[in-house]
Amino acid sequence: MNKITSQQDLLAAFNASKNALALRCVSEHDINSKKKDILCCGGTGCHASNSNVMMDNLRQLIKEHGLENDVRVVQTGCFGFCAQGPIVKIMPDNVFYVQVQPEDAKDIVEQHIVNHQLVERLLYVEPMIKERIHDYAKMSFYAKQERIALRNCGLLDPEDISEYIAAEGYQALAKCLFDMKPADVVQEVLNSGICGRGGAGFPTGMKWKIAAGVQADEKYIVCNADEGDPGAFMDRSIMEGDPNSIIEAMAIGGYAIGAQHGLVYIRAEYPLAVNRLQLAINQAREVGLLGKNIMGTNFSFDIDIKLGAGAFVCGEETALIHSMEGMRGEPTTKPPFPANIGGGYWGCSTNVNNVETYASIPVIIRKGAKWYAKIGNWKPELDENGNFVKTISGNAGTKVFALAGQINNVGLVEVPMGTTLREIIYDIGGGIAGGREFKAVQTGGPSGGCITKENLDTPIDYGSLAKIGSMMGSGGMIVLSDKDCMPAMAKFYLGFTKDESCGKCTPCRIGTRRMLEMLEKICDGTATEETLVELEKLANTIRDTALCGLGQTAPNPILSTLRYFKDEYIAHVRDKKCPAGTCSKLYTLKITDACKGCTKCARNCPVGAITGEKKQKHVIDVNKCIKCGACIDGCPFKAIVKE
Amino acid sequence: MCECKLSEGAKAKFAELDAFIDGLGINAKDDRRRGYLIQVLHKAQDIFGYLPREVQKHVADKLVLTEAQVSGVVSFYNYFTTDPKGKYCVNVCLGTACYVKGSEKVLSEIERVLGVKADTVPTADGLFSISALRCVGACGLAPVMVVNGKVYGKVTPAKAVEIINEYKAKG
């Protein structure tokens, strides 16, 4: 690609490359088309399921059939439907294949590509109608979604900047540089109503306005890609699938607030995302979309990557900044805020936003704030010029959720704000796995709380979730069924926050440990009802006194489970029973008379705790048993029970 | 540390690290040189496999920082380790999605089979070390285990043992 040194050059590059997407963005689908693009998911999840071997096989077979001039195999970002991966989508045929293994490449090429026939066995079975369908738009998983931040994931090759340019990429930046003043850009973002998608929900435009108002020669714009909530993976998917949108948005932010330097702070646990982002930065530099005098203007901007090293607290912006400075990632009190002089990176004014927030910015600029503000359930108060004054209720735009846990359709879903949890869990998520009963959904990860059946019709926005004792968080949504124990879930989260507490302030350092100890006692059956009273008191104290967000929100999983599932706690401390049957100290395994003596459990038992003659009822030696559950999972007669 | 005591292998490793640090063009008088520390430690751990005291001291000298500053950072972040690892690093994800799908049972089975606990010493033959990991972002495949960077999805305790045995057979 030629160097882009003006707006005309960008337009020329767009015109030259837009053909690359011709087959993928068609309105008429045609399985008989000679030319085809085979889009294969190249995200971490599908990679782990051998999608790269499958792609190699496809390429090899296409070559063997002499079709390499007509059929391209394109590695794209994540399609979001991770439960069904690896995913292959063929365009312009609009055929969506699921769970494609390396050996399936043969059928795809010979049956579909050569003979234009669907490979029925690889089609998705829509659970609502129990039929195999090929059109992804008709799948209940996708039907209610509105993909804005994820718009390019599963569409473009993230390793080729020309595909991003073909999808109108960098045109929002050009619009800012040539048609808008920095203050106009800030106003546009403010009017769009977008709030920080990292979890706190602070209006992004407001953040930019504060940073833009600081008079300084050296300012920084930072992308917080330290996706620490275990169970959330939208930021990883965006960086892997559409890294250029982050680069473009950061440049837009740089122009708006007057920063020349961008930094992406990214977790070292995401090697693929780091590589893709670095590649995209290199390509953007090569074509002149990063660097000095972008598109021939006076605006210069460049981006560097800073690696994290595994510390949850570094998602907090002051801790993140200290980590980028090569220090321990400990937070400091605000003010000074990062935007203030003395509060940011090396003391310079710094603006920090989350990956998903940035991913939405280029579309907001290109299509306009009004377009974005209409998506979702946002009711703002506007002044006479139509500019944002304050939010009355709801939020604008979409939010990406990582749906995981005991749910059928695990994956990434992007829905308009105001969608209800019921729609997400039952319509998009396909209900609870294994036909079990819904118990709760945990949002906001270790800082959040649980939402119960009674609140399933709550519209999802920052305010509504806070009202019912949970929080939006970064968008992790862990669905729990009747076999999950709530005190054990609280214990799990406290184990996490105890490990991740940086140790700077006492309430968090000591408090999380004490709370964890109490939860351990509860789950072991050695606690009393008094423990529950103490636990609640301590949780409230820590919430009020800890230094940063990590400590202040660490008690949330306890407070929220105590609020909605007090009976489970009572069962643990008073009756010494775990109703969900997960706390191993509170039950023993027993074989009932339903046992037919098939010997399977005795063979499955890793510690040899089960004995018995063939065709005779077997017995478990409770002293040897490690309660791993291998016997229960394998028993064909459901003869093993927890008591 | 006295260079003459080092084996040829260790010398080559320090040389590789030095070449990387020199390539960064760090100015010893620049107050912001500390900003390179985490990046350098990542590289050092890539090269040595872990960050023993002599490596930390070496990094401190090269970046003109105190050993305490380097050690403070190494001990703060989970990713950095001061203990040697086995040839195969078995990481079991204990993120929320994996936890609710039973990854704790996978971890305890691996610990039982290999006879060492997570985040402690490697096995006596030096082949395996076990770590608990917080989310690799492959939640669709929960529970997940990772062996030397290769991700295995939907593992059960039995499947985990099979995977371990495959590596054991390789030696």
Q: What's chain A's average pLDDT?
A: 94
With CB atoms and an 8 Å threshold, state whether A606 touches B77: no
| For residue B30, pLDDT beyond 70 | yes
Residues paired with residue A405 on neighbouring β-strands, in sequence order: A479
* Beta-strand pair B88-93/B128-133: parallel
| For residue B3, pLDDT beyond 60 | no
pLDDT of residue B4: 53
Partners of A324 on chain B (C-beta within 8 Å) are 35
With CB atoms and an 8 Å threshold, state whether B99 touches A492: yes
- A interface test, pick of B36, B100, B155 with most A CB neighbours within 10 Å: B100
Q: Does A328 touch chain B (CB under 8 A)?
A: yes
* Beta-strand pair A398-405/A36-41: unpaired
d(CA A52, CA A63): 17
Q: What values do phi and psi take at A301, rounded to 5?
A: -160, 135
* pLDDT tens-digit readout, A480-518: 999 999 999 999 999 999 999 999 999 999 999 999 999
With CB atoms and an 8 Å threshold, state whether A405 touches B96: yes
Q: Which of A85, A231, A607 sits opposite B96 (nearest CB)?
A: A231
Q: Which of B95, B101, B141 sits opposite A48 (nearest CB)?
A: B141
Angle between helices A355-367 and A171-179 (to 10 degrees): 60
Shortest Cα distance from B144 to chain A (angstroms)?
10
pLDDT of residue A373: 97
Q: Which of B79, B93, B139 sits opposite A268 (nearest CB)?
A: B79
With CB atoms and an 8 Å threshold, state whether A626 touches B142: no
The answer to pTM > 0.80 is yes
Neighbouring CB atoms inside 10 A of A292's CB total 11
User: Which residue of chain B has the CA closest to A408?
Assistant: B140
- B interface test, pick of A82, A442, A474, A561 with most B CB neighbours within 10 Å: A82
- B interface test, pick of A81, A320, A325 with most B CB neighbours within 10 Å: A325
Question: If pLDDT is split at 50, 70 and 90, which confidence band does B1 have?
Answer: very low
What's the burial of A273, exposed, middle or buried (CB within 10 Å: 0-12/13-18/19+)?
Answer: buried
d(CA A532, CA A563): 12
Q: What is the interface size between A and B, counted as CB pairs within 8 Å?
A: 158
Shortest Cα distance from B8 to chain A (angstroms)?
30
Angle between helices A355-367 and A243-257 (to 10 degrees): 70
Q: Does A445 touch chain B (CB under 8 A)?
A: yes
> What are the structural domains, with CATH classification, of chain A?
16-141 (3.40.30.10), 182-374 (3.40.50.11540), 398-481 (3.10.20.600), 486-573 (1.20.1440.230), 588-642 (3.30.70.20)
The letter for the amino acid at A639 is A
| For residue B2, pLDDT beyond 70 | no
d(CA A438, CA A433): 9
Partners of B112 on chain A (C-beta within 8 Å) are 606-607, 626
- The owner of tokens 């906001």 is A444
With CB atoms and an 8 Å threshold, state whether B109 touches A628: yes
Q: What's chain B's average pLDDT?
A: 91
d(CA A463, CA B27): 49
To the nearest 10°, report the CA torsion of A46, A49, A52, A57: -130
Q: Which of A231, A268, A499 sits opposite B97 (nearest CB)?
A: A231
**Residues A440, B139, A481: CA angle, nearest 5 degrees:** 20
With CB atoms and an 8 Å threshold, state whether A47 touches B35: no
Question: If pLDDT is split at 50, 70 and 90, which confidence band does B140 have?
Answer: confident
- The owner of tokens 């546009």 is A188
d(CA A629, CA A631): 5
Of A568, A565, A574, A572, nearest to A586 by C-alpha is: A572
To the nearest 10°, report the CA torsion of B115, B118, B123, B126: 160
pLDDT of residue A230: 84
Shortest Cα distance from B77 to chain A (angstroms)?
5
* pLDDT tens-digit readout, A55-93: 999 999 999 999 999 999 999 999 999 889 899 999 999
d(CA A34, CA A13): 26
Query: Which H helix or E strand runs over A241?
Result: helix A234-241
d(CA A23, CA A42): 19
Residue A577 CB partners (closer than 8 Å, separation 6+): A571, A586, A587
- B interface test, pick of A41, A47, A49 with most B CB neighbours within 10 Å: A49
User: Which residue of chain B has the CA closest to A488?
Assistant: B100
Partners of B72 on chain A (C-beta within 8 Å) are 327-328
Task: With beta carbons less than 8 A apart as the criterion, state whether A456 and A503 touch.
Answer: no
Of A539, A218, A225, A228, nearest to A350 by C-alpha is: A218
Of A431, A394, A432, nearest to A416 by C-alpha is: A394
Partners of A606 on chain B (C-beta within 8 Å) are 109, 112, 157
Shortest Cα distance from B57 to chain A (angstroms)?
16
Of A450, A546, A449, nearest to A500 by C-alpha is: A546
- Print the SS3 string covering A561-598: HHHHCHHHHHHHHCCCCCCCCCCHHHCCEEECCCCCCC
**What ipTM does this complex have?**
0.91
> What are the structural domains, with CATH classification, of chain B?
3-76 (no CATH), 88-170 (3.40.30.10)
Task: With beta carbons less than 8 A apart as the criterion, state whether A463 and A433 touch.
Answer: no
Of A376, A383, A392, A452, nearest to A421 by C-alpha is: A452
- Stretches where chain A sits below pLDDT 70 are none
Residue B115 CB partners (closer than 8 Å, separation 6+): B123
Q: What values do phi and psi take at A570, rounded to 5?
A: -60, -40
Q: Does A502 touch chain B (CB under 8 A)?
A: yes
With CB atoms and an 8 Å threshold, state whether B35 touches A329: no
Q: Does A228 touch chain B (CB under 8 A)?
A: yes
pLDDT of residue B5: 63
